[in-house]
Structure 1
């Protein structure tokens, strides 16, 4: 007799375990997400706040730099005007300065200080005649551009309209030189500090001040020159100031003197060792509590949402567990009853009871699948035997068909062999009558084939070259090694840079004469290796024609002199040689006086003859190393090189003038006319600018023509 099953301890139901586990998982997930989101939100808020503050600091820094640079550029432009570099009266200079002031409202005062220290001219006549020799802008602006720090000025402040705040200025000054390069005056622009205040208001976005964002501008000693109300003219010591003065830009979290923690972005204006820049420190700060307020506000809704999700998850999991486990519980109870009754012959419970979820469905289908597979295996064995017999019969028929195909292929191969022989004869006839020379080479460069055109072009018969290395016959000794290297590379990798392209080569024929040929090289793979075939076309006559046409394109057809295109190339080369040898070179711009009158009176043929004789006389009266060319019409250019100093160019011009004044004997008359000569000298340290050099010579020539006397060198 079988003893009954021992009593079992009471265990929690699976429904309860699933519900409790799902609720616990939801709560843990909520708290984990809360911590992660809070941490990431705080980091993101801090990173975004720092980026916003950094953008403000960089914008403030760049705008301060641009304002100072704009003032320097205005000085550079104005100093070039003749009314400033060489004024005839204070009124003339004052008009230019006041026009500049109108274009820039922040320019409170613009003045021109003479070397004696007194203001020569100023906007609205303010401070004219006053001694400014002790001012920093005057003392530092003699030889370079200078920008002074933010400062008050009593003398100018009294002259300007009243203001709620004391007048404060930033001075920007620079030297003024004359046409001879000598120092003439110091030009100063005093900008009122109001532009910096307006700049802060324009940079701060709407609502930024309500969020506690504040912008500071500090001197190198930490003095606040622009900042919130009540903090200007105070001294600040902070980590951000130290980092900014070290030359870096960024942001930092730090505590200020008021005991609060701020996110502070910092940047440094100007550039080191440049007196035309101002080394101010720009700080942009925001209270940390304000910057990170959005991250703190995010925690409460996350907690509320997490609690609600936990309650909903518990209810949903309990309902789903009861519904999903009901069939399994019924199946389990039925199995226990059958086991307790010892009825092993009874069938299993109906499979349909556990068809509501995947696991139950798998259990239900397992037994049916075993029976189905057994029957399937038996059917497969029967089918396999039948297919095997069918396959043997089919393979027998295929062997017979392939034997017939093989006989047909042999017959077709014999026909193809005869066709190939005919094609080979046709190809030989085509190659022998081809217009280009044909050469076939093995991978080592040995000639395998050679047509009749190759015999005519290079001089050797086909019988003489077969089996001979091509390089030894047609290439100069200096090119043979490079040819052998290239052939090895072609044999190894196919030579994509050369194959199927036309290249030019210089070869020697049997008589030793040089031939310029155009070569097309192709790579032909074969079963026993590969070969190269080359087609050669003689282009010697075409090259000679192109060279003649290129020479004609660089010559003036009337005088035979270099034309404008050739002159520009020659002048560029002359400037490069002058810079390399540290010597001067000069350009003469020569123009015939009264040439139009001669041309109109005696006709164009006589005018052309005059131009030819004038060109010949120019060539005869300069050195052989100098270049003479015709620019256009009656304008000629002479390029002189290897000049030790500027006087050498002037001496050449003085020698050239008498020769050009000698009478010109034309076909029907004899005329005497002079020439205007403009001189421009290029020194090794001058800019490499051909157009500027020709322009200087052209202007000097026109001054020579207008004044009717020799002009000196145009700088």
Structure 2
């Protein structure tokens, strides 16, 4: 008679378990979802704030760079005007000179006044006739031009105030550029001066700031060296300020910070500084780009609101899913509990697994169902065990005899394989005595097997100069059980029966164990390959030398073009010339790297090692990379340990500087702008320690094992865009090892990399 499918107590238990699981799933999913949303929101907010701040800093830097470019162009242009033959020709009439100046003024609309004076300071001629005959000898631009100062800071119009209208309701302001001009005999005859309208700077500011105005009110300020606002909001223009961002910018730093100004408003301020360009020395201007913190961080608030609502929606969704999963889990467990209760009451119930249940329930059902049958079978096997024991012993004996025969056959096959191998095989015991010698070894060395077996290996195949080292290595192995040569592919020089030396490639391993252990050595003749490599090295050296001469000429020619040797180039041609110059410099570096690696491989690199302090070498390397670091926006710093000036080693100064500049160049290459690269010098454990620490992304685990190999480069796009030959670290490692030192690195993803060089103290 069938019993009810579900008893009331069981039903209550299932409902209780399902409810608890649903509550647990719902609670955990809500908590985990909200925590995950909080973590993501915090990380995203921090990243967004940093991106906004860096954006303002970049705007300030771009504005400063554009001011430098514009002033450098005007500086160069006015200097060229002062040397124009068609303007200085004494045969020209006053009207003809005025026409030349008018043509010059029309080439650049911001030249408000352009004229020539005599040495007495009186204006001889001006493009529009303004101030002709007026004495300007007391004006700073006239006196400074004769004293070699060719550019003056922003000032309001003095003599031109009544002759030129104001700009946007404000008095006109100028930047002065003036150069003395000379007559046919090379004697200075006067000054050519230009008043550059300050409206030029305002237009520069608008061209940079206007595209980002849609994100909020962004204001740009141009500040003089004395801290006076030359261009900015009406309430600040002409006033002196002393904010922290201004002090940082005057220190030639670039970045951003949050600060409160005198109006009581908190601003996000990006800052940058002009530094001059080419012959133009710069006027010490700094650029501040500020934005109300509420406007700047408006995207952050929107991100937070979106994250909050998304988190709540996900929590609700996961809660519903938790209830459904709890019901699905408890359903097969309830059925299994019901069947177990029926078995406990003595009913014959087969616990057949349901194909729709999950794996654990199926396994439990099947295991319980098989339990009784397994117990019965085990009892039957125990009863039959004594009766079959003798038969089992005979079977095991036959199995052992078969295994022994298989071992003998395997040994014979191994001997046949070793004898047929193309590579020479030698077995050597722990004393260095030859135990086996195959046919390939006979052909390689000229000794027959019966002559070689039982003879010391060193006397048969090693040149005299290597035998003592071989004996020492065997002695160390017998004492410690360790030999560094094992399981490595090595190149060695050996001799044959007639004393001829040649190069082989060997792989050795340890066979058996204990006192019966012996070395199995496979040798392959690579003397022909070495000849090919030597020919390759000579070819690379010849090609590199032949490439370097034309590359040097190309590089010099491009540099002269960029410096104006052929006159002013059109912008497109100047840009292409700069790209070609950079590419030729890179080719020269690659050729030099190829020459160095070839010299290292051939053993022809010269080292002049003398005992000397390491601190001056490190300081020179740091100074040599300052320009490269500044261009990349990376901060270089030093970390000298106390007493660093007394740390000395026997080094080749030039080669050691080459190592440090290689390491610094790599660190700068992979360090984001605004981060730091540190060069350190210390002494530890009787060694001189040099280190280069960057704040880059770290070295990928898949690339770490081959980082010191030749031409090794990470395959990601990030590395490819940075360029490089892949030889720098290989050359550096070879140089350090030639000095008896070592080089290594430690790295962590997102936390940077530290390269460490250790050298013996002198």
Counterparts in 2 of 1:243 and 1:385: CA distance versus 1, 3 Å: same
Of residues 276, 293, 296, the one that matches 1:291 is 296
Give the deviation of 1:532 after TM superposition.
Answer: 10
**Correspondence for 1:36:** 39
Find the aligned partners of 1:406 and 1:234 in 2 and give their Cα distance: 92
Correspondence 1:26 to 2:19: no
Alignment of 1:549-698 (within 5 A): none
Return the alpha-carbon distance in structure 2 between the equivalents of residues 40 and 256 of structure 1: 29
Q: What is the CA deviation profile of residues 657-682 of structure 1, one whole-angstrom value per residue up to 9, with x for unaligned ones? A: xxxxxxxxxxxxxxxxxxxxxxxxxx
Shift of the 84–385 alpha-carbon distance from structure 1 to 2, 3 Å rule, reads: farther
What SS is found at the alignment partner of 2:159? helix
> In 1, Cα distance between the equivalents of 2:341 and 2:348?
13
Shift of 1:17: 2.0
Q: Could you tell me which residue of structure 1 aligns to residue 305 of structure 2? A: 300
Deviations 1:547-600 (A, max 9, x none): xxxxxxxxxxxxxxxxxxxxxxxxxxxxxxxxxxxxxxxxxxxxxxxxxxxxxx
Question: Cα deviation per residue 1:101-154 (whole Å; 9 max; x = unaligned)?
Answer: 121111111122222111233212322222111011111111424221211113
| CA distance 1:355–1:371, shift in 2 (3 Å) | farther
For the 8 Å contact 2:30–2:318, the answer to whether it is kept is: no
Asked whether the equivalents of residues 72 and 145 of structure 1 are also in contact (C-alpha less than 8 Å), the reply is no
Q: Quote the offset at 1:58 in angstroms.
A: 1.0
Q: Which of 203, 215, 239 is 2:244 aligned to?
A: 239
Counterpart of 1:249?
A: 254
Distance 2:359 2:23 in 1: 23
Q: Where does residue 19 of structure 2 map in the other structure?
A: 16
Return the offset for 1:305.
Answer: 3.0
Unaligned regions of 5+ residues in structure 2, if any? 1-8, 422-437, 448-461, 466-489, 494-499, 506-520, 529-762
Distance 1:49 1:525, change over 3 A: closer
Distance 1:238 1:296 in 2: 27
Of 200, 207, 218, which aligns to 1:195?
Answer: 200
Residue aligned with 1:148, SS: coil
Which residue matches 1:152? Answer: 156
What are the superposed Cα offsets for residues 72-125 of structure 1, whole Å, 9 maximum, x if unpaired? 101222222234455444445434332221211111111222221112332123
**Is the Cα–Cα contact under 8 Å of residues 61 and 269 in structure 1 kept in the other structure?**
yes
Aligned mates of 2:58, 2:154 — CA distance in 1: 24
Q: Any gaps of 5 or more consecutive residues in structure 1?
A: 1-6, 422-441, 446-491, 496-520, 534-715
- Residue 309 of structure 1 and its aligned partner are, at CA, apart by 2.9
Q: Relative to structure 1, is the Cα distance of residues 320 and 287 closer, same or farther in structure 2, using a 3 angstrom cutoff?
A: same
Contact 2:144-2:150 within 8 A present in 1 as well: yes
1:320 equivalenced with 2:325 (yes/no) = yes
Alignment partner of 1:267 is 2:272: yes
Tell me what 2:56 maps to.
Answer: 53
Q: Secondary structure at the match of 1:174?
A: strand
* C-alpha contact 2:59 2:208 (8 A) present in aligned 1: yes
Contact 2:60–2:270 (CA under 8 A) maintained in structure 1: yes
Q: Which residue of 1 aligns with 2:593?
A: none
Cα gap change, 1:314 to 1:32, in 2 (>3 Å): closer
Shift of 1:258: 2.3
| Count, aligned residues | 424
**Residues 1:240 and 1:329: Cα distance change in structure 2 (over 3 Å):** same
User: Following the alignment from structure 1 to structure 2, what is the Cα–Cα distance between the partners of residues 163 and 197?
Assistant: 11
Structure 1 residue aligned with 2:84: 81
Give the SS at the match of 1:146.
coil
Aligned partner of residue 147 in structure 1, secondary structure: coil
- State TM-score, norm by structure 2: 0.48
Note if contact 1:85-1:184 (Cα within 8 Å) is conserved in structure 2. no
**Residues 39 and 315 (structure 1 numbering): CA distance in 2 closer, same or farther, change over 3 Å?**
closer
Change (3 A) 1:125 1:332: same
Q: 1:384 to 1:115 in 2, by over 3 A?
A: farther
| Alignment partners' CA distance in 2, 1:389 and 1:70 | 97
1:358 maps to 2:359: yes
Aligned residues of 1:256 and 1:262 also touching (Cα < 8 A) = yes
User: Paired residue for 1:186, among 184, 188, 191?
Assistant: 191
Instruction: Quickly say closer, same or farther: Cα 1:335–1:232, change in 2 above 3 A.
Output: same
- Contact 1:354–1:364 at 8 Å: present in 2 too? no
> What secondary structure is seen at the aligned counterpart in 2 of 1:141?
helix
| Partner Cα separation in structure 1 for residue 147 and residue 269 of structure 2 | 39
- The structure-2 alpha-carbon separation of the partners of 1:144 and 1:408, relative to structure 1 and needing over 3 Å to count, comes to closer
Residue 172 of structure 1: aligned partner = 177
- State how far apart, in whole Å, the 1-side matches of 2:58 and 2:416 are: 86
Tell me, in whole angstroms, the C-alpha distance in 2 between the residues paired with 1:305 and 1:107: 58
- Which residue among 101, 108, 112 is the counterpart of 1:108? 112
1:128 maps to 2:132: yes
Q: 1:131 to 1:493 in 2, by over 3 A?
A: farther
Partner SS state of residue 353, structure 2: helix
Contact 2:492 2:503 in 1 (8 A): no
Structure 2 distance, partners of 1:43, 1:532, is 62
3-state SS of the aligned residue for 2:270?
A: strand
Q: What TM-score, normalized to structure 1?
A: 0.51
Q: Secondary structure at the match of 2:72?
A: helix
In structure 2, distance between residues paired with 1:406 and 1:192 = 91
| Distance change >3 Å, CA 249–CA 180, structure 1 → 2 | farther
Over residues 405-429 of structure 1, what are the superposed CA-to-partner deviations in whole Å (9 max), with x where a residue is unaligned? 99999xx99xx99xx99xxxxxxxx
What CA deviation, in whole Å up to 9, does each residue of 1:326-370 have, x standing for no partner?
22122223324543x4x4xx6664132586112212223446499
Q: Displacement, 1:282?
A: 1.1
DSSP-derived class of the 1:125 partner: coil
**Secondary structure in 1 matching 2:213:** coil
Aligned residues of 2:173 and 2:198 also touching (Cα < 8 A): yes
8 Å contact 1:146–1:276 — kept in the other structure? no
